[in-house]
Structure 1
Amino acid sequence: SITVFASAVITAEAKTVIEDHIAAMRALGRTVEQQALSDATAHGTFVPPTIIELASIADLKREVFGPVLHVVRYRRERLGQLIDAINATGYGLTFGLHTRLDETIAHVTARVKAGNLYINRNVIGAIVGVQPFGGRGLSGTGPKAGGPLYLGRLTAVPPLFGARVGHLRTPLHDFVEWLDAQGESDASATARRYGEASALGVKLELDGPVGERNIYALHARGRILLRPATREGLFAQMAAALATGNRATVEGMALPEGLPANVAAIFGGSTEPYAAALVEGGAARVAAMVETAAAMPGPILSVHAASPDQPLAYALDWLLEEVSTSINTTAAGGNASLMMIG
């Protein structure tokens, strides 16, 4: 049999928010099932365990932190569209997947955008140093608590995260060759240093309990807003974006002419939300960039000002996104305990 334990939610305000959400789903005609609460819960901020069947993920407009499970039915051949719909919400704290198929694991984890992925196990209980925890987009800005980058966010000069991929071919190489051909030797040397400083593509297997595999990986963050003040600053910002595998848009200065096509494409038009911003210049320019970022809709935008006194003006770790994946290896072929239900 299935038993349910649900504690009180954190405040009366949170209780009201959750109850209003459930009422809104009922008003939309969605099927809602709830377990009755006992008399013992009358004087606390308890919300009954609730299951809501949605017509689509688009029914959800925000995260719901409470004992509410949303269910969406989908056909196998529409799995890709479902992942796109999940990603389109902009939220990405944790994501859980239960499947017998290794092919499905690879397909879903490669496409879904969430900070912590859990395969054939529960989706709570992240452990420091084993499953570094933190979301992306509207669910977090990073770095992850318990991860190798966290301490650096609390220091004036972050320590160097030394893990690197042996060889990773990116458009940065073509940008460096183009700079050489233009006679921009200083900019070319700087771009090479950015490439050497990037941890893009790093994948580490972290120690954890027997029967569990925990992987920490660094991916590109997304689209970066660039606001250079000088030609040298433009080249440095472009190199930083390319070295971290990101796309970017330049404001306030034209792109150089004659860029290699694959490089120019990185800085082409895009409508996706910005994930971070780089700005060059004095306090007034930085303040203006912060005001612009604060006014933008969507995820909180981190702003990184150039540090001319450092070997590289921009710390590349903040332009990467951490993803933690935890796999229950004892459930190869599926989670047996779930398959016994019913």
Structure 2
Amino acid sequence: PQVSGVDSFYNRLPCSTPPPTLFPLNSFTTGFQNIVDAYGVAAYREVNPALFTIITFPFLFAVMFGDVGHGLLMTLTALWMVLEEKDPKLRNNNNEIWRMMFGGRYLILLMGLFSIYTGAIYNECFSKGLATFSSAWHVGPMFEKNIWNSSVLAGSQYLSMDPVVPGVFTSPYPFGIDPVWGMSNNKLTFLNSYKMKMSVIIGIIHMTFGVCLSFFNYCSLIFVLIPELFFMLFLFGYLVFMVVYKWVAYAPSQSKSAPSILLHFINMFLFTENPDNPQLYHGQVCASFVSFTNRNISGLDFPNIVISTLTALSSNSDVVVSPFCFLNDKNAAVIK
């Protein structure tokens, strides 16, 4: 055969446009990838966070939306869309809201399943408690110790059970929240504080994991990853430490003297000390100063909005509240 006499050539043209990225998707991963693309598309050779979002996004949603009943409704609705996904009437529907729901059917399915799990932990089904096991709180010792009597019942609208009294609180509930909290007057004070703090802790863990995914090479390790970890761990990580430490260190008998985490966190930025708010642990002032100084060394600014956001960690939420302020007129039979 005749060989061409023209030499082959290859021209390499310089281009400033970044290389395109290709994510092989299917009907299951499309919804999660759309969530990630709403914030930004991963560049060429970067880690695609959509893989991790499959678990982290529905789980963090379920932490804030934990209810067995509502989660079951979401699961059944999403399961119906998944089983009927090949139906042309469902796939070709032009309604914008329906197309958005149908495209995220697998996302809704996982959100419902995780909501059932966290709802079982919160012991809530359509905002009502599930008495799966016997309650660990008992009113008998309050009468045996003569803390409650007929005169107290007649003169008090609300009665507070004291966990310090032997026999009132026997042991932690086997799984989830004790259902007797549903009868208490301070139910929202306790549960909202618990759910909010769990959301903060899990959210900070997710953000720290996301920062670790930014590791690309030694240059990004030194100038990106380490400064961001300094910012995260010396601020929000220290906040998580204080929350967990207060849960562990302060028993019900010490709840009245428990300090406010919110005031400590704000004083750390103002370099002040509140004499009315005792230290959480010995040497906390020095530790807070080191944590805040390391934040300045990292060269990152801390927006003031974070302090206002942390107002949810109010002093009322930080106190270890004893439950079940019963309504005397309606629940006298329960108390007796």
State the TM-score, normalized to the length of structure 1. Answer: 0.23
Larger RCO of the pair (alpha carbons < 8 Å, separation 6+): 2
Greater fraction of residues in helix: 2
